[in-house]
Amino acid sequence: MIKSLLIANRGEIACRIIRTARRMGIRTVAVYSDADAKALHVREADEAVHIGPSPARESYLVGEKIIAAAKQTGAEAIHPGYGFLSENAGFAQAVMDAGLVWVGPNPDSITAMGLKDAAKERMIAAGVPVTPGYLGEDQDPERLKREADGIGYPVLIKAVAGGGGKGMRRVNAAEEFAEMLLSCQREAASSFGDDRVLIEKYVERPRHIEVQVFGDKHSNVVHLFERDCSLQRRHQKVIEEAPAPGMDEATRASVCAAAVKAAQAVDYVGAGTIEFIADASEGLKADRIWFMEMNTRLQVEHPVTEEITGVDLVEWQLRVASGEALPKRQDELSINGWAMEARLYAEDPSTGFLPSIGRLETFELGGARIDTGVGEGAEISPFYDPMIAKLIVHGEDRADALRQLADACGSARVRPVRTNAEFLTRCLRDQTFASGDVDTGFIARNLDELTTTKPVSDSILAAGALLLLSDPAKDLSEQPFLSGSGHKEWVAGPSTTWNPLFGFRLNASAKRRVDLEVDEKLTTIDLDATGIHEPELYDVEDRGVWVADQDGARYHFFALPSAEHRAAGLGGAAGDGALVSPMPGKIIAVAVAQGEAVTKGQKLLTLEAMKMEHSLVAPFDGVVAELSAEEGGQVSEGAVLARIEKGEGA
């Protein structure tokens, strides 16, 4: 068995691997960049090595530095986690050439499945069904468009070397193809160093079904059943579950057998995922499920498989890398209950899911298994993926798991960094999703309903403020700001315990002017308790009060020192027409020129930050009066990139 392990990754996956390694008595070594000097994975490892500046391309993506760190610390093996170098065959080979154990598949298997066109050709030869499309080497834009025209719209343009939703664009009509191709190639080159693409037929009612496979060095391959990852936004998974809703035993047997066949076709060793696309227009049927790609690594959503099978997949990885046979045979694996996972991102759904950065003054999660790489007081930087935690639950059945996860997301308390917790809660409480009738277009179709926050009523603002100000346990005389964040779709149930404030009435005499920040919007109210109705439900806790109004929406109010208050308006477009950079990043496209007329919602600039492209659009019809952004330029948070002036009549 491996005695010492270097984790060539960061964040929650590094912490996840450290947790299993510690239980197995394996010494762990972390690597970190400047931005991660105080990160949780650095503190939890037995030893840590600094490998460079904050940008990943200068630290986590430099294989030579990671191998040198392993040799420096005497580590026997390297675990790549997922992302970064986990599917880089060259890095895997370099690790092995350095005399170290690579915790992952053989480089030949990574190469065979890493290029989507070659992988599909191999799957066709192995008898695995694949989606129709164009896999040719001719990358001339005219040829690619002819192929797309022939397949019929809508089509998907996908990076040959892609993965994780990067380098993928849906094209609905021929006139969109050229722009979408350019955008896809640009992202593919940035993310993978390879701008080649393939074309696939877009399935109108697609579900994303994937099968966890595992192989060892003794030619054994098993599957650990399927996961459903259909709830996605812009091809990024949001909520995953196992098993898949509506999957009957015959279809499960067929799909899982195809996954094993795919893994055997490349002599696969270690943890991998075979991803399928299903046409769900008539339910899940074996003859309407096709191979998409293989991820030759551990997946972000692997915990749901662990929860239903009772298997620690990281432990299996370490045992297989050490030369051991798989711990269980296929007939020893079974499904127990239902598991679900939600990805908590530092992003603001109300601003188009722009990432949010800053210090986690409050970071309280509960009611679930929490896989995270941050803690209270941590800094969320602009250099890496905005996922800050995964909330995982296991229930007796899907309804039980759904309830648990909705409660966990609804009670998440993160401040002042914005998160998608409320968005996740709304998704989980949606009746269509709860019924299992979901496909990859669910979020796009229901985006407004899932992201629009209804205004908080004056009576709720006043009730929350008065309840907080009346708490005798707190001296709020020096706390000029009260802040509220609404958890919509929260419904009071019989299992909820409420602690009324005996002796306090809202109709007592109380007058005070209070500044309130609700969802980063500042408002001032004059409190006069006379005539304000006491809310039916409220609860007092250490960090504030919760108030529920008649429609079941729940609001959290808590006091903030003045220094913590951040004025609204950072990022996006200011009221005077200024386009402001919401975070540090790189300008990768400028679509307008100074003096040009623009219309409301028109894309003007594209900013790359936190591994994502973000569009900045015109706030209203007008003219580009100022333009300071240049393609390729680095910008800081709050920098004014352009200014739009209203034209006559606008």
Would the pLDDT of 508 be above 90?
A: no
**pLDDT (0 to 100) of residue 582:** 75
Report the pLDDT averaged over residues 83-112: 95
In CATH, what number does 206-451 get? 3.30.470.20
Would the pLDDT of 583 be above 70?
A: yes
**530-555 per-position pLDDT tens digit:** 544 455 555 555 556 667 665 556 66
611: confidence class by pLDDT, cuts 50, 70, 90: low
Q: What percent of the chain lies above the pLDDT cut of 70?
A: 81
Q: What percent of the chain lies above the pLDDT cut of 90?
A: 59
DSSP 583-640: SSEEEEEE---TT-EE-TT-EEEEEEETTEEEEEE-SSSEEEEEE---TT-EE-TT-E
What is the distance between the terminal CA atoms of the chain, rounded to a whole angstrom? 71
240, 340 contact by CB (below 8 A): yes
Name the strand (E) or helix (H) holding 164. Answer: none
In CATH, what number does 132-201 get? 3.30.1490.20
- Closest Cα partner for 211 from 130, 279, 282, 304? 304
**298-318 per-position pLDDT tens digit:** 999 999 999 999 999 999 999
**pLDDT (0 to 100) of residue 637:** 72
Residue-range domain boundaries for the chain: 4-103, 132-201, 206-451, 458-564, 572-645
**pLDDT (0 to 100) of residue 209:** 97
CA 499, CA 320: separation in Å to the nearest integer? 52
Between 19 and 166, name the one with better pLDDT: 19
**pLDDT (0 to 100) of residue 254:** 96
337, 343 contact by CB (below 8 A): no
Q: Which of 169, 297, 418, 643 is catalytic?
A: 297
Task: At 276, list the tokens.
Answer: 């399928």
25, 51 contact by CB (below 8 A): no
At the top level of CATH, the class of 572-645 is mainly beta
Three-state SS at 367: coil
Q: Is 57 exposed, middle or buried (0-12, 13-18, 19+ CB in 10 A)?
A: exposed
Q: How far is CA 374 from CA 57, 67, 456, in A?
A: 22, 25, 31
Between 140 and 356, name the one with better pLDDT: 140
Report the pLDDT averaged over residues 367-380: 95
**pLDDT (0 to 100) of residue 118:** 82
**pLDDT (0 to 100) of residue 552:** 56
**pLDDT (0 to 100) of residue 511:** 58
Of 413-417, 557-561, 597-601, the least confident: 557-561
**150-198 per-position pLDDT tens digit:** 988 999 999 988 776 788 999 999 999 999 999 999 999 988 889 999 9
Name the strand (E) or helix (H) holding 379. Answer: strand 379-380
What average pLDDT is seen over the chain? Answer: 85
At the top level of CATH, the class of 4-103 is alpha beta
- Closest Cα partner for 500 from 458, 464, 540, 531? 540
Would the pLDDT of 251 be above 80?
A: yes
Q: How far is CA 104 from CA 214, 268, 300, 313, in A?
A: 11, 10, 15, 12
471: confidence class by pLDDT, cuts 50, 70, 90: low
Fold match between domain 132-201 and domain 572-645: no
**517-529 per-position pLDDT tens digit:** 555 455 666 666 4
Of 238-247, 369-378, 420-429, 474-483, the least confident: 474-483
561: confidence class by pLDDT, cuts 50, 70, 90: very low
CA 413, CA 521: separation in Å to the nearest integer? 18
Angle at 423 between CA 562 and CA 621, to 5 degrees: 80
114: confidence class by pLDDT, cuts 50, 70, 90: confident
- 297 tagged catalytic: yes
CA 1, CA 376: separation in Å to the nearest integer? 35
pTM: 0.76
Tokens 């039916």 label which residue? 536
Task: At 144, list the tokens.
Answer: 């690619």
**pLDDT (0 to 100) of residue 462:** 73
**pLDDT (0 to 100) of residue 569:** 31
CA 162, CA 552: separation in Å to the nearest integer? 43
375, 363 contact by CB (below 8 A): yes
Region of residue 235 (phi > 0: left; psi between -120 and 50: alpha; otherwise: beta): left
DSSP 455: P
437, 207 contact by CB (below 8 A): no
328, 306 contact by CB (below 8 A): no
Would the pLDDT of 566 be above 90?
A: no
Name the strand (E) or helix (H) holding 266. Answer: none
198, 184 contact by CB (below 8 A): no
Between 603 and 29, name the one with better pLDDT: 29
Of 105-109, 231-235, 286-290, 462-466, the least confident: 462-466
Would the pLDDT of 645 be above 80?
A: yes
DSSP 576: T
Would the pLDDT of 490 be above 90?
A: no
Would the pLDDT of 649 be above 60?
A: no
Tokens 């579950």 label which residue? 241
Cβ neighbours for 310, distance < 8 A, ≥ 6 positions apart? 336
DSSP 459-528: HHHHHHHHHHHT-TT---TT--EEEEEEETT----TT------TT--TTS--EEEEEEEETTEEEEEEEE
Q: Is the peptide bond before 561 cis (omega within 30 degrees of 0)?
A: no
